[in-house]
Amino acid sequence: MAELFKITGGKPLEGSIRASGAKNAATKLIVASLLSDKKCIFTNVPNIGDVEITAEMCREVGMDIYWDREAGVMEVQTRVLKTSYIPQRFSGSNRIPILMIGALLGRTDQDIIVPTAGGCFIGKRAINFHIDAMRQLGAVIEYRRMKKQGAYFAQAHHGLTGTCIDLAYPSVGATENTILASVRAKGVTTIRNAAIEPEVIDLILFLQKLGAIISLENDRTIQVKGTKHFYDVEHEILPDRLEIASLGMAAIATKGRVFVEGAQQPHLITFLNKLREVGGGFNVKKEGIEFFYDTPLKGKVHIETDVYPGFATDWQQPFTVLFTQAEGSSIVHETVYENRFGYINELNNMGAEIETFQHCLGGRSCRFHAHNYDHSIVVKGPTPLHAKDIDIPDLRAGFAYIMAALIAQGTSTISGTQYIDRGYEQLDKKLAALGADITRIDEKTADQTKSLSALEQILPKG
């Protein structure tokens, strides 16, 4: 039975909440543990859908997993690979299958078969960056159609050999995949124009504990020396900077005050700068960051998404909602994904005034220039928002809708909760604990409520 969120807006978020472990770190770390037969213990593991899917995939190839969801602890060990085939039922489930290639190439000389990558429909996934890097290391990779869907076949029967790899774009996934493949390759691998997001650094820290020799230069260059010697590891997953920023913006948009325990300022520098520009309040403390509504929000702010340390593409959706409550016009220029503004129409239907453009607005020209993609927007504010029934199209757009519903007049019903559950740990419970009027109901209950409401409208009163 499908589930829905029922949200009545108008209540400020107040209180304290602890940040969950980062989705984009936890899933990659679990896959990275496949490189060795050693025991790895992860703490601060978020209880979310993407971690569940990743764990199921790893079980398929022989990983033993003990997961205490309540404590946020996961113990994993892959003593022996049972298979190097990831079943087609995982096709399109998330972006992790393609990373299995990098982890497994050094662990087996057998053919590796993984289904196509999935995740949210926000633009093309640059799989070619992954494939090109693996081939430069000596892997043979091809795409084939099978069972009405695609799969990647990869093998390195004679092992991988380190080399110098120049990534055409600092893709996070391609950087992580190349690092994983390089750990067990012969010799030294140099990755230039690499992604350096905090989640990538967390992966490097874990791999160093595991036994890898990895160095990070100050010009986006990562160097990996191949090794075959590994060790048991205990590793705490870093806090989710995307969740932290989302909760902070929701606190400010609802004119509330929320302390996010575990929030780390170094991971949020660019976001906090923009928050200060728009007039949002925050206090950095030893245990975390407090976000609060300070004065009326000011627009005329320009945001341009970029790879780290730039403004994260996953921050722009809730920031757009924040702009709807700010005085003046603001600009968002999306440079990471070409199809990231699919959520705008629903916000406009709720009362926002947002216009999309195919031009690169307010900053430098990006790789989507003259490609007919709506990748810039102008947001006019402040505009009152009203409740609406909405279907979530992807994870981050889903949070933007929830945030809009929290400040809207009336009660909104939001479907597609599975997208939220993929990346936010018990978001409805966290928001409710902060004072939000939010409940999770099944679709049947919602239909019955609507029918009763309609009946009450036509029946005579008294």
178, burial (CB in 10 Å: exposed 0-12, middle 13-18, buried 19+):
buried
144, burial (CB in 10 Å: exposed 0-12, middle 13-18, buried 19+):
exposed
Q: Tokens at residue 14, please?
A: 């107040």
The CA distance from 316 to 341, in Å, is: 10
SS3 assignment, position 340 = coil
Q: Is 51 annotated as a binding residue?
A: no
Q: Which of 40, 120, 360, 366 is catalytic?
A: 120
Q: Is 336 annotated as a binding residue?
A: yes
Beta-carbon contacts of residue 266 (< 8 Å; ≥ 6 apart): none
**Partners of residue 67 on adjacent β-strands:** 74
How many residues are given for the chain?
462
283, burial (CB in 10 Å: exposed 0-12, middle 13-18, buried 19+):
exposed
Phi-psi region for residue 255, left (φ > 0), alpha (ψ -120 to 50) or beta? left
Q: Tokens at residue 321, please?
A: 């909602």
Q: Is 24 annotated as a binding residue?
A: yes
Q: Is 95 annotated as a binding residue?
A: yes
- DSSP letters, 270-331, are HHHHHHHHHT-EEEEETTEEEEE--S--B---EEEB-STTSB-GGGHHHHHHHHTTSBEEEE
Q: Helices 127-136 and 97-105: crossing angle, nearest 10°?
A: 10
19, burial (CB in 10 Å: exposed 0-12, middle 13-18, buried 19+):
buried
Closest by CA position to 80, among listed 99, 102, 55, 63 = 63
* Known catalytic residue at 58: no
The CA distance from 258 to 435, in Å, is: 10
Is residue 38 within 8 A of residue 210, CB to CB? The reply is: yes
Closest by CA position to 139, among listed 127, 166, 116, 157 = 157
For residue 309, cis peptide bond before it (omega within 30 degrees of 0): yes
Query: What 3 state SS string does 368-380 have?
Result: CCCCCCCCEEEEE
Beta-carbon contacts of residue 313 (< 8 Å; ≥ 6 apart): 305, 334, 336, 337, 340
Q: Is 314 annotated as a binding residue?
A: yes
Binding-site positions for UDP-N-acetyl-alpha-D-glucosamine: 95, 314, 336
Binding-site positions for phosphoenolpyruvate: 23-24
Binding-site positions: 23-24, 95, 314, 336
Catalytic residues: 120
